Amino acid sequence: MALELKQLPGHEALQKDAERYPESDASAVETCLTLLRVSDDVEEAYAAHFARHGLSQARFIVLMQLQREEEGLRPAELAERTGVTRATMTGLLDGLEKEGLVLRRAHGGDGRMSVVRLSARGRQRLEGLLPDHYRRTTALMSGLSAEERQQLKALLTKVAAGIPHVREP
């Protein structure tokens, strides 16, 4: 469950930590904790949204990638585009194929490879979902002006540049 804003440590507590640990910056920690809380809340909200449509976020992303590629994509291309392993993509495609949302066919040039395409049923599922999806996404961002949305994108890009500092051993 995501942290509620009231559950986040107060500025004073973070300032005490910064005094005790010189490498800490209370403002940076407070901002990061707020980002994490909001990120968790948005992720939970979208998980519920996709579940209402019988999908997960990962399955939705695969369907959207296929919707944009009429000729279809190889599973390896889908894995790369969605940022998952090939094994994870195989599992996603197995489930989507079982539901009749995608079709896997042998690649014309190389029978050892397959190409995945959106099925008519998959296209219908997206057509039923997308108006609601775009309405909810627009509502999520409605508190921000167009200029603020551009600023947020720019700021999040800067935050993303710091991710390697958290990952490194």
Domain 55-133, what architecture? Orthogonal Bundle (1.10)
Chain centroid offset of residue 6 CA: 26
Of the candidates 128, 121, 133, 140, the one whose C-alpha atom is nearest the C-alpha of residue 39 is 140
Sign of CA pseudo-dihedral 147, 43, 86, 156:
positive
pLDDT in tens, the chain (169 residues): 444 555 777 777 787 777 788 888 888 888 998 899 999 999 999 999 999 999 999 999 999 999 999 899 999 999 999 999 999 999 999 999 999 999 998 876 665 679 999 999 999 999 999 999 999 999 999 999 999 999 999 999 999 999 999 999 9
Q: What is the pTM of this model?
A: 0.82
- Site of tokens 């939970």: 44
CA distance 157 to 148: 14
Where do the domains of the chain lie?
1-52, 55-133
- Site of tokens 């397959």: 114
